[in-house]
């Protein structure tokens, strides 16, 4: 069987993929998470007794390995978040003789270190924003800012991402305060206060490429996703493929992503993230940002346009399949399949007067999902569910696909489906998305 070290919608997503392949699944849950729907979607659900409450239970490596042993699991899938990018946990899974559904711990370590990832990109000729490849002191940050001749700079945590430990600097006077703020945020979020600096792309578009590698020499892409609609540095709406990339730029991004993943001797699914300059039509105006060595929240839209189950593909690869045997070796021309898929993240949140949002909580007194052709909902919501402030505010992902060649069909389908949600008892960001 397979242990699923996660909760909520992603745990359900993994359990469903496994069930269709006849794989037994074991779910885990913390003492304060007994009501989460993922506990009902696995073959067995095990309480993480004494592992703590909230996220800390799902981060408890010893407890996870103990459950895997007790339940006789041969494989472990972490989804995204929690332990999915923890090289120490993955190494201990490998040492216990279990199969980790994902990349080897060495690849996770490589891409978790921004410096090493940047060095790898540089070595294979993938463009980077001008910046430092290692941690800098305040003095070095000042020198770099001066070298940019009035162009803005970004200070970033070396150890992590997710919008934390990041601060733009537009004028010299802001630099010192921003630098100290980043260091303390990075220390708090990642246990490491080191920061690096790079030139800031002022109006970037966020394009990411989905890559699959079989660990036996086969590497391919499943096209790109546009993730430029963000709020408070978090993605809200994602689109596949990007509605506004030129063919030549698409070709370059896809081949750079493959080059990078191949150089890392990678296995399983990965996402290579790029920043593309909004202002410039020039194809060279893009830069490598990072690699996420795991499944991503927005993997769903790629599945819709390519008709590939990415989680099942991860399972097949872990069992020794090659991209060739899976019929995925050659996705073909740089032009993506027809149609568009859009994902909207439905979060539990209250809008503040200043336009920002705060996580909301309570009991879902009503919960009805939209349906119809080309509409998919990945969620763990149900009427009567009491939300927990100890977990992420993501409740559901709405995924809409339209095979029409014009992007507007997918947009109108998405708006129709958003309006069809009936959620009461807790506020969500659906009004915000309908007003965009």
Question: Which H/E stretch holds residue 109?
Answer: helix 105-112
What is the token pair recorded at 104? 């080897």
Contact 111, 291 (CB under 8 A): yes
State the catalytic residue, choosing from 167, 294, 345, 376: 294
Print burial letters for 279-304: b (CB count within 10 Å at least 16), e (below 16). Answer: eeeebebbbbbbbbbbbbbbbbbbbb
176 CB contacts (<8 Å, ≥6 apart)?
Answer: 138
Contact 271, 235 (CB under 8 A): no
Contact 49, 385 (CB under 8 A): no
Question: Which H/E stretch holds residue 42?
Answer: none
337 CB contacts (<8 Å, ≥6 apart)?
Answer: 223, 305, 306, 307
Separation of alpha carbons 154 and 287, rounded Å:
14
Helix ranges (H only) for 21-60 are 38-41, 55-58
Assess whether 373 carries a catalytic annotation: no
Question: Which H/E stretch holds residue 75?
Answer: strand 75-77
Backbone phi, psi, residue 154, to 5°: -115, 130
Contact 346, 241 (CB under 8 A): no
For every residue of 264-313, DSSP letters joined together read TT-EEEEEEEEEEESS---TT-EEEEEEE-S--TTHHHHHHHHT--HHHH
Separation of alpha carbons 337 and 185, rounded Å:
42
Helix ranges (H only) for 294-394 are 299-306, 310-318
Contact 53, 390 (CB under 8 A): yes
Print burial letters for 199-230: b (CB count within 10 Å at least 16), e (below 16). Answer: bbbeebbbbbbbbbbbbeebbbbbbbbbbbbe
Question: Closest by alpha carbon to 385, among 38, 15, 37?
Answer: 37
Separation of alpha carbons 206 and 298, rounded Å:
13
**Residues forming the active site:** 294
């Amino acid at each position: 069987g397979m242990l699923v070290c996660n909760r909520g919608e992603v745990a359900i997503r993994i359990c469903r993929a496994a069930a269709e392949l006849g794989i037994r699944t074991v779910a885990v849950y913390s003492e304060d998470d007994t009501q989460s729907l993922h506990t009902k979607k696995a073959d067995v659900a095990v309480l993480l007794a004494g592992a703590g409450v909230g996220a800390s239970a799902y981060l408890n490596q010893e407890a996870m390995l103990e459950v895997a042993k007790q339940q006789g699991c041969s494989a472990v899938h972490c989804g995204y978040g929690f332990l999915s990018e923890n090289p120490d946990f993955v190494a201990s899974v490998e040492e216990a003789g279990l199969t980790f559904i994902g990349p080897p711990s060495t690849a996770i370590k490589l891409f978790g270190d921004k410096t090493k990832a940047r060095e790898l990109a540089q070595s294979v000729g993938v463009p980077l924003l001008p910046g430092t490849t290692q941690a800098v002191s305040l003095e070095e940050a000042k020198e770099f800012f001066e070298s940019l001749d009035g162009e803005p700079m970004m200070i970033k945590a070396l150890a992590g991402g997710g919008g934390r430990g990041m601060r733009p600097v537009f004028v010299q006077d802001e630099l010192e305060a921003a630098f100290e703020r980043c260091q303390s945020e990075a220390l708090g979020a990642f246990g490491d206060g080191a920061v690096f600096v790079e030139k800031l792309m002022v109006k970037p578009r966020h394009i990411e490429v989905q890559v699959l590698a079989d660990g036996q020499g086969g590497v391919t892409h499943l096209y790109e996703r546009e993730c430029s609609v963000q709020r408070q540095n978090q993605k809200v709406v994602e689109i596949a493929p990007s509605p506004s990339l030129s063919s030549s730029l698409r070709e370059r991004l896809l081949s750079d992503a493959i080059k990078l993943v191949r150089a890392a001797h990678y296995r399983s699914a990965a996402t290579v993230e790029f920043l593309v300059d909004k202002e410039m039509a020039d194809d060279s105006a893009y830069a490598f940002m990072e690699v996420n060595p795991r499944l991503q929240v927005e993997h769903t839209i790629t599945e819709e346009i390519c008709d590939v189950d990415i989680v099942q593909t991860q399972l097949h690869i872990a069992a020794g399949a090659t991209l060739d045997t899976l019929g995925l070796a050659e996705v073909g021309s740089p032009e993506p399949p027809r149609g568009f898929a859009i994902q909207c993240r439905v979060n539990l949140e209250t809008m503040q007067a200043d336009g920002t949002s705060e996580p909301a909580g309570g009991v879902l007194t009503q919960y009805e999902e939209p349906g119809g052709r080309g509409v998919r909902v990945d969620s763990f919501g149900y009427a009567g569910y009491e939300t927990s402030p100890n977990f992420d505010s993501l409740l559901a992902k709405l995924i809409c696909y339209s095979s029409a060649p014009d992007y507007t069909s997918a947009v109108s389908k998405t708006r129709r489906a958003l309006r069809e949600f009936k959620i009461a008892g807790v506020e969500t960001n659906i009004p915000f998305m309908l007003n965009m």
